Amino acid sequence: MSLNIIVCAKQVMDPETPLSAFNVDEAAKRVVPAQGIPPVVNGFCENAVEAALKIKEAAGDATITIISLGNDFVMDVMKKPLSMGADQMILIQDPAAENLDALGTATVLSKAIEKIGEADIVICGQQASDWDNAHVPLGISEMLGIACLSEARSIDLGDGTVTVASSRSDGYDVFEAPLPCLITVSNEIGEPRYPTLRGIMQASRKSPETWTLNDLDLSESDVSPVLTLSELFVPASDRQCEIIEGEDEADSGRLLALKLREEKII
Amino acid sequence: MSEIIIFAEIDGDGLHSTAGELISAGKKIAADTGNVVSAALIGGNQDLASQAISLGADKVYLANDDAIQEGVADAYLAALHKICINAEPTVVLTSKTPIGRAVGPRLAYRLGSGIAQDCMDVSADGDSGRVTVTRPVYGGNAMAKFTFADKDPQVVIMRLKAFEAMEPDSSRSGEVIEFELSLDESDIKTKLVETVKEESEGVRLEDAAVIIGMGRGLGGPEPFSQLEELAKVFNGAVGASRAVCDAGWLDHSYQIGLTGKTVTPDVYITVGISGASQHMAGCSSSKNIVAINKDGDANIFKEASFGVVGDWEKVLPAFTETARELLES
Ligand SMILES: Cc1cc2nc3c(=O)[nH]c(=O)nc-3n(C[C@H](O)[C@H](O)[C@H](O)COP(=O)(O)OP(=O)(O)OC[C@H]3O[C@@H](n4cnc5c(N)ncnc54)[C@H](O)[C@@H]3O)c2cc1C
């Protein structure tokens, strides 16, 4: 039996954007994209693609479909999961879905997963590095009414079940759930593989399907927000750093300890 | 009177440290809205209920069921869902613990209401009862305020230690309600197969008063022993950046930050850490931050109160030696 794996992946601003290039438009309540720094596929979503590819390798027969909800997609960026080895991609883009809150996003994505049909495993990154919500996937599992395993650091496919390990502060827990299920992955699942030349060639021949809300039988009123952004700002740091300088670096280290003692910090 | 429900977790024989923090956060909202603050104590007992009341809870829902198993979110979720259907709270607060951050969102989605996670502050409008939260976004590069629309319950996940628990006061009084759960087998889809403890020696990161932070600037796993030596001088612990953990130099249990542990030591001494916002998200509430970094322009110097610009290999041994002498004398 072929396994049907769906991975949700999001295009985000590069989180490695230097702070000097990070700007907020407070009036518009949005982050201004940094000039000349292309967006990326969210890191945890790439981990999710990697997890899906490993499951496919273990299962032998599987189809991996990437779905993404967003706007201003940069095709060179978004095709990365395809070049890594995913089979197909669906992009959901709609002017009415440009400023959805997490509930709206989960509504659209779960509708898309239902439309694709018969998903065995849905895999998502644990959070996206723009809004750091870390709960849209959990919402999808609720809407689909399937088991939810979060922050997996390893995934093992069984016979009609999956087993995942999730980190805890003093070790890890191992959970088992029946298929179908949704799994969110942490970076501990493993580095996403680099696309091979062959993968890039294959991806270049694939064109993602594009869906709108209409294709999902959704209207704007189905995705009206329950949470509104009321302010966005860059926090001011009030800390002033006193740089300790001695005759040489070792002396600076010595003086630093003396200073911390004098200030009763140590 | 409408209420605010806090999800009071249990840790061993006592309440989890976050229970008191959530009660305090609930009290702050209640001061504006006049709500009562109730603790949902799932899998607890009378003794723990009294503890919650001594920390300020006006009411405790004591809910037990054989299906409740420590670490399994499904059961806590089903229980909290039942309590919410019954009590119709305006606000539900959970903590950003492994269980709290799984249960809170799923509850909100199950009830079709709003959810905000990793919140550092909460407030409410006295007239409308609408809650506004403050939380970091974009890896901590920006802060955002979100306001809930007119749909209850408003579910808020609090960052650990964002609020301080009140001093327990056994003269406080409150009502304990034994809540009948009768969970259904179909409520629990996941099974906890095994819990593996990876005991680390020494002081726990979360409890340490002094933490030494190991960054990618150390170049490899070997310098860990030198940091450990420094940590021992203070009876502290060593933590690390994600770069260090991803490189496999240290296990991920050492990771401090947005996707690692949140720590609040008296002093956090970073060595070879650049101070990326995602790292600072886990340590910016430290009382004092000290930086040793060879790059004077590194962001860590914007967060630190004292620092040395220099090569750690030269700075650290002298620092450790002097600190040891000072503390022994
Ligand atoms: C969604 C998301 C979540 C994340 N979560 C976390 C998280 O939880 N925790 C976390 O830490 N990171 C997290 N990160 C990663 C974070 O953005 C940074 O990449 C990471 O913190 C960098 O670690 P570092 O400071 O050790 O390394 P670097 O940024 O590489 O800094 C190394 C520093 O060492 C200094 N240095 C080099 N050589 C020497 C020397 N000889 N002597 C002294 N100094 C030297 C350099 O000047 C530099 O400042 C996250 C990223 C994303 C996108």
Domains belonging to chain A, first-starting first, are: 3-223 (3.40.50.620), 236-266 (no CATH)
At B1, is the pLDDT very low, low, confident or very high (cuts 50, 70, 90)? low
Whether A258 and B116 lie within 8 Å, measured CB to CB: no
- Asked if B3-187 and B205-328 have one fold, the answer is yes
pLDDT of residue B22: 98
Whether A22 and B306 lie within 8 Å, measured CB to CB: no
What is B132-185 written as a DSSP string?
Answer: EEEEEEGGGTEEEEEEE-S-S-EEEEEPTTSSPPPPP-TT---EEEEEE----G
Of all residues in chain B, the one with the smallest CA distance to A183 is B190
Domain extents in chain B:
3-187, 205-328
Angle at A254 between CA A252 and CA A256, to 5 degrees: 65
pLDDT of residue A42: 98
For CA atoms B206, B212, B214, B215, the dihedral sign is positive
Q: How far does residue B241's CA lie from ligand 1's centre (Å)?
A: 6
Report the DSSP pairing between strands A242-243 and B306-309.
parallel
Whether B106 and A138 lie within 8 Å, measured CB to CB: yes
pLDDT in tens, B40-56: 999 999 999 999 999 99
Beta carbons of A182 and A137 less than 8 angstroms apart: yes
Domain B3-187 CATH class label: alpha beta
What residue spans of A192-266 are helical by DSSP H?
197-204, 249-262
Q: Is A37 on the interface with B (CB under 8 A)?
A: no
- Is the CB of A43 inside a 6 Å radius of any atom of ligand 1? yes
Q: Is A131 on the interface with B (CB under 8 A)?
A: yes
Atom of ligand 1 minimally distant from the CA of A15: 53
- Distance from C-alpha of B90 to C-alpha of B5, rounded to nearest angstrom: 8
- Give the total residue count for chain B: 329
pLDDT in tens, B99-136: 999 999 999 999 999 999 999 999 999 999 999 999 99
pLDDT in tens, B273-321: 999 999 999 999 999 999 999 999 999 999 999 999 999 999 999 999 9
Q: How far does residue B199's CA lie from ligand 1's centre (Å)?
A: 26
Q: What is the CATH architecture of B205-328? A: 3-Layer(aba) Sandwich (3.40)
Tell me: ipTM over 0.90.
Answer: yes
- Is the CB of B20 inside a 6 Å radius of any atom of ligand 1? no
Angle at B283 between CA B281 and CA B285, to 5 degrees: 100
Q: Is B143 on the interface with A (CB under 8 A)?
A: yes
Whether B105 and A138 lie within 8 Å, measured CB to CB: yes
pLDDT of residue B68: 94
Angle at B36 between CA B32 and CA B38, to 5 degrees: 130
Q: Is B232 on the interface with A (CB under 8 A)?
A: no
Angle at B302 between CA B297 and CA B305, to 5 degrees: 120
Q: Which residues of chain A have pLDDT under 50?
A: none
Beta carbons of B204 and B229 less than 8 angstroms apart: no
pLDDT in tens, B240-285: 999 999 999 999 999 999 999 999 999 999 999 999 999 999 999 9
pLDDT of residue A236: 83
